[in-house]
Amino acid sequence: MKGTKLIYVCSECEYTSPKWLGKCPHCGAWNSFVEDVALKETPASPKRVVSITADGGGARPFCETEAPDYIRTATGLSELDRVLGGGLVLGSVVLLSGEPGIGKSTLLLQICDTLGSHRKVLYVSGEESEGQLKLRAERLHIQGDNLFILTETNVEKILAEADKIKPDVIIADSVQTMYLDQSASAAGSVTQVKDSAMAFIGKAKSYGISVILVGHVNKEGGIAGPKVLEHMVDAVLCFEGDRRQAYRIIRANKNRYGSTNEIGVFEMTDEGLCEVANPSQMLMADRPDDSSGNCAVCTVEGTRPLVAEIQALVTPTAFPSPRRTVGGVDYNRTCLLLAVLEKRLGLRFSGHDVYVNVIGGMTLDEPAVDLALALALISSITDRIIPDDLIAMGEIGLSGECRAVSQIEQRIKEAARLGFGTAVIPHRCAEKLPADLGIRIIPVKSIFDVLKILRKERKEQAPDEA
């Protein structure tokens, strides 16, 4: 293009350089430079103004400022509403990211159905044709009385169309395919993504329209495009899951209108995404029985307790340095626990390969899973089976002590609801619990107690064997 030259832009901090660099000298990010086009003169570059003030009338005393009443609108999928903090806030901008094929377009088309019953929705697709969208909508049984479809990638045209239709919600699938005429760079480039998002956000804030932007992810799993995109929007939702499995989890990485701890669980079926109201039951469905190395745990995601099963496989190593393959729990935490078990209980993990996995593809990232993970590891190396109806939760310290965890009553109730008979928990937690929760509580002070209990439980289950 005449009047333009190639530059390289850091996707983290937008530092520009005339040549490609491996490491950004400004923010220190590695491999963050992407090609872009710079205008020699930029008289036509768009005004980067996102108006969030009502009158722009200068500073005001904080005590006189009134909190607005957010109007939330149900999306029709209560799992998604929970993650959003109770529904989509009118006038907010949400960025939904996820790997290709995970179900972003399906999810958004599905919410159009309920949203369309009481709000006007404009679904803009830069990736699929009208025909493709229609076919998909039919498969998902979407009525869409108030739904308008537009296949367009030019943001100016989209916003002009929005001025005509006056929608309450605009869905832009995806922001990486959109471009602004005023911006000289190619669609998908850092500047274009930012300018297009800016234009949508400006519209949302000045007209009170909700905007949902779909964002692609890069190789590392982060949102493709400038980091500033995540700062500009009100909520960043990530749609995760293993494409080979039917389960999908949506979580908020940022939410100005709600908590970021909540998760929503869906199952991909022939008729689109179905909500999973009872994820614990789903996660426990494929439990193997009578094999060593398995232990159930109850974690809390936001306000919801979730029971999952940790599996460990410990086998003698054939390598000079043993392998550690860890999925679903933190790798470093697992190594730390292995060191604690080796030092305190004298179990020789250094001569064994260790594989850890969480059934159902869940990621458990709270310290309360320590005890169950330790039990799974001990069970596998000693080849002792942990009883099926035993559940464990607690944090383990470096001396092997069991530390208290939060929301223990909720966890115990969920375990009891799922039919677990015994719960191994830190003794400080046990003191706080009410008497009859319908489950036998075994308080433990350290992993030494755990080992004793395991032996005892085993004897009770199979007296002849012991």
Distance CA 88, CA 90 (A): 6
Name the residue nearer to ligand TYD (CB basis): 269 or 332: 269
Query: Could you give phi then psi for residue 221, rounded to 5 degrees?
Result: 95, -5
Which stretch, 20-28, 79-87, 101-109, 394-402, contacts Mg ion (CB under 5 A)?
101-109
- Per partner kind, with CB cut-offs from 5 to 8 A, the member of Mg ion, ligand TYD, none near residue 197 is none
Min dist CB 172 to ligand TYD, Å, is 13
Q: Are 179 and 187 in contact (CB under 8 A)?
A: yes
Cis amide prior to 399 (ω within 30 degrees): no
Nearest in space to 303 (alpha carbons), one of 413, 433, 434, 418: 413
Least gap, CB of 170 to ligand TYD (angstroms)? 17
d(CA 246, CA 265): 11
> What, of ligand TYD, Mg ion, none, does residue 77 touch, CB below 5 to 8 Å by kind?
none
Q: Which is nearer to ligand TYD, 133 or 444 (CB)?
A: 133
Shortest Å distance, C-beta 126 to ligand TYD: 12
- Paired with 448 in beta bridges are none
Minimum distance from residue 293 beta carbon to ligand TYD (Å): 32
Nearer to Mg ion, 105 or 146 (CB): 105
Residue among 9, 49, 48 nearest 29 (CA): 9
Are 250 and 237 spatial neighbours (Cβ–Cβ below 8 Å)? yes
202 vs 225 by CB, closer to ligand TYD? 225
> Where do the H-state alpha helices sit in 249-394?
279-284, 331-345, 370-382
Please state, as a whole number, how many other Cβ atoms lie within 10 Å of the Cβ of residue 41: 7
Per DSSP, helices labelled H in 18-103 are 78-84
Taking the complex as a whole, how short is the minimal distance between the CB of residue 101 and ligand TYD, in angstroms? 4
Rg of the chain over Cα atoms, rounded to whole angstroms, equals: 26
Q: What are phi and psi of 31, to 5 degrees?
A: 55, 40
Q: Contact between 125 and Mg ion (CB under 5 A)? A: no
Pick the closer one to Mg ion by CB: 107 or 393.
107
**Each residue of 236-253: b (16+ CB within 10 Å) or e?**
bbbbbbeeeebbbbbbbe
For ligand TYD, the closer CB: 202 or 272: 272
The least CB distance from residue 131 to ligand TYD, in Å, is 14
Count helices and strands in the chain by DSSP H and E runs: 12, 23
Stretch that binds Mg ion, among 57-65, 105-113, 333-341, 396-404 (CB under 5 A): 105-113
The piece of 98-106, 307-315, 322-330, 416-424 that touches Mg ion (CB under 5 A) is 98-106
Residue 35 three-state SS: strand
Q: Least distance in Å: CB of 266 to ligand TYD?
A: 11
CB of 105 to ligand TYD, least distance (A): 3
Applying the rule CB under 5 A, the residues between 148 and 177 that interact with Mg ion are none
Residue of 105, 176, 177, 446 that binds Mg ion (CB under 5 A): 105
Q: Which does 270 bind (CB under 5 to 8 A by kind): ligand TYD, Mg ion, none?
A: ligand TYD
Q: Which does 75 bind (CB under 5 to 8 A by kind): Mg ion, ligand TYD, none?
A: none
For residue 84, the minimal CB distance to ligand TYD (Å) is: 18
With b meaning 16 or more CB within 10 Å and e meaning fewer, what string describes 328-337? Answer: bbbeebbeeb
For residue 305, give the H/E element and its range. strand 304-316
Four-residue CA torsion sign, 53, 54, 59, 63: negative
Contacting residues toward ligand TYD, per CB under 6 A: 98, 100-106, 136, 139-140, 268, 270-272
Question: Which residue number, 56 or 131, has a Cβ lying nearer to ligand TYD?
Answer: 131
Length of the chain: 466
How near is the Cβ of 142 to ligand TYD at its closest, in Å? Answer: 10
Q: How far is the CB of 139 from ligand TYD (least distance, A)?
A: 5
Helix (H) or strand (E) holding 38: strand 33-39
> Could you say which of Mg ion, ligand TYD, none residue 126 binds, taking C-beta under 5 to 8 angstroms by partner kind?
none
DSSP string, 203-263: HHHHHT-EEEEEE-B-TTSSBSS-THHHHHSSEEEEEEE-TTSSEEEEEEEEETTS-SS-E
Query: Which one, 275 or 388, has the nearer CB to ligand TYD?
Result: 275
**Closer to ligand TYD at the Cβ: 177 or 280?**
177
Q: Smaller CB distance to Mg ion: residue 8 or 266?
A: 266
- Specify the residue, 5 or 139, whose C-beta has the smaller distance to ligand TYD: 139
Residue 139 contact, options ligand TYD, Mg ion, none, Cβ 5-8 Å cut-off depending on partner type: ligand TYD
216 binds, among Mg ion, ligand TYD, none (CB under 5 to 8 A by kind): none
Q: Which residues bind Mg ion (CB under 5 A)?
A: 105
